[in-house]
Every structure is written in structure tokens, then in C-alpha cells.
């Protein structure tokens, strides 16, 4: 890679807890691997993965205050679940604090939690890497999803949405409408 990103890693290690930092590295390397296998810019994918959770050190109140202060728009679902805001706040911090100007990278950070219908390659890669990085073990179907990610990314994305929605329903958590819209999109997309 052109840069070693030591400065960014050092800062992330400082502000994130140990578990989150390990997850961050897992997402960075998994994004880079997915990028390699799809012929996408590996270095950009690595940097997007590295910064995807860079805002995940704030409390709920801090997310709200931060977004108000920096004019980051909040939906009602986000106001009710401020942790969702770490994606939008993260894209803002990646730009303002870490100097990232590349819009591919910034939008991959911005959409890594919910995804959206018709994601770009970079968005799809970081969204998927966040779910499948080696440190994750929250879903018993992960071995299959990991394989799908390298065979057919859209199929993996569909699988991730399906399992995420089932999980959210079971645990009575609020569903961001973007998640269900994107699930419908990818379901229809892999059928064709």
C-alpha cells in the first residue's frame, strides 16, 4: 500500500476500546481482501474499513449533540437509536479529522450500518466486511455468508439483511426503514 496508516491506527487505538479496535482492523483487512477478489481499489477499501467505526466512542447523548453541532441531519429512527448515528458522524470525522476527501470511502462509511438499495462496490464491501470479519461470531451462518461474500457479494448481502431483520424482529429492536428497503432490493436483484 502507498501509506502505512500508522498515524490513523494510533489515534483509533486511543479513542476506541480494545474490542472495537480489533474489530476495526478485522474490517480493514477483510475489506481489502474483498476488494482484491472483486478488482476494486484495495487501498481505498482498507482505509474505509479502518475508519468505518471511527465515531463509535460516543455515548447516545454525545451522538445527538455532535450531530446537532455539525448540522448532520437526523431521522426519527436515528434520534430514537442514537448509536445508528455513528455511521454519519463517522463519515464526517473521516473527512474533517482524518482528511479523507474520497467520496467512495466517505459514502462506504456513511452507509456501513444500514446499507442502501443499489450500493456501490465500495459500500457493499465495507457493509459486508463489517458483518463477516474474522472476529465476529454473532451469527451461526457466518461460515456460509463468508464464502458467499467471495463468490457473489449480492448473495451475501441478501443473506446478511435476512438474518439481521430476523434478529431485530426477535429482539424487538427498531428497524431502520432503509434496511428493509435494501433487503427488498437485493432479494429482487439476486433473483434476476
Q: Using CB under 5 A as the criterion, which residues of the chain lie in contact with Fe ion when the complex forms?
A: 53, 130
C-alpha cell at 158: 441478501
CB 49 within 8 A of CB 29: yes
Buried b / exposed e across 130-152, counting CB within 10 Å, b at 16+?
A: bbbbeebeebeebeebbebbeee
Cα separation of the two ends of the chain: 37
CB of 41 to Fe ion, least distance (A): 20
CB of 134 to Fe ion, least distance (A): 13
CB of 96 to Fe ion, least distance (A): 18
CB of 152 to Fe ion, least distance (A): 22
Residue number, 41 or 53, with CB nearest to Fe ion: 53
Q: How far is the CA of 148 from the CAs of 16, 96, 143, 159, in angstroms?
A: 30, 35, 9, 9
Residue number, 53 or 78, with CB nearest to Fe ion: 53
CB of 51 to Fe ion, least distance (A): 11
CB 183 within 8 A of CB 156: no
Residue number, 44 or 52, with CB nearest to Fe ion: 52
How far apart CA 27 and CA 130 sit, in angstroms, is 5
Residue number, 118 or 135, with CB nearest to Fe ion: 135
Residue number, 78 or 130, with CB nearest to Fe ion: 130
Interior angle at CA 138, CA 30 and CA 86, nearest 5: 65
Amino acid at each position: 500500500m502507498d501509506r502505512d496508516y500508522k498515524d490513523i491506527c494510533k489515534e483509533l487505538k486511543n479513542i476506541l476500546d480494545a474490542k472495537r479496535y480489533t474489530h476495526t482492523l478485522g474490517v480493514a483487512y477483510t475489506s481489502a481482501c474483498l476488494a482484491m477478489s472483486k478488482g476494486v481499489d484495495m487501498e481505498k477499501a482498507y482505509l474505509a474499513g479502518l475508519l468505518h467505526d471511527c465515531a463509535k466512542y460516543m455515548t447516545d447523548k454525545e451522538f445527538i449533540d455532535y450531530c446537532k453541532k455539525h448540522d448532520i441531519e437526523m431521522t426519527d429512527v436515528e434520534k430514537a437509536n442514537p448509536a445508528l448515528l455513528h455511521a454519519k458522524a463517522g463519515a464526517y470525522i473521516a473527512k474533517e479529522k482524518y482528511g479523507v476527501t474520497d467520496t467512495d470511502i466517505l459514502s462506504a462509511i456513511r452507509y456501513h450500518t444500514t446499507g442502501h438499495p443499489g450500493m456501490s462496490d465500495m459500500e457493499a464491501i465495507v457493509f459486508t466486511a463489517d458483518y463477516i470479519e474474522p472476529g465476529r461470531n454473532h451469527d451461526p451462518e457466518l461460515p456460509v455468508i463468508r464464502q458467499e461474500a467471495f463468490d457473489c457479494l449480492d448473495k451475501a448481502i441478501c443473506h446478511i439483511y435476512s438474518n439481521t431483520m430476523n434478529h431485530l424482529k426477535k429482539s424487538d429492536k427498531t428497524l431502520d426503514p432503509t434496511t428493509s428497503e435494501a433487503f427488498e432490493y437485493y432479494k429482487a436483484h439476486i433473483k434476476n
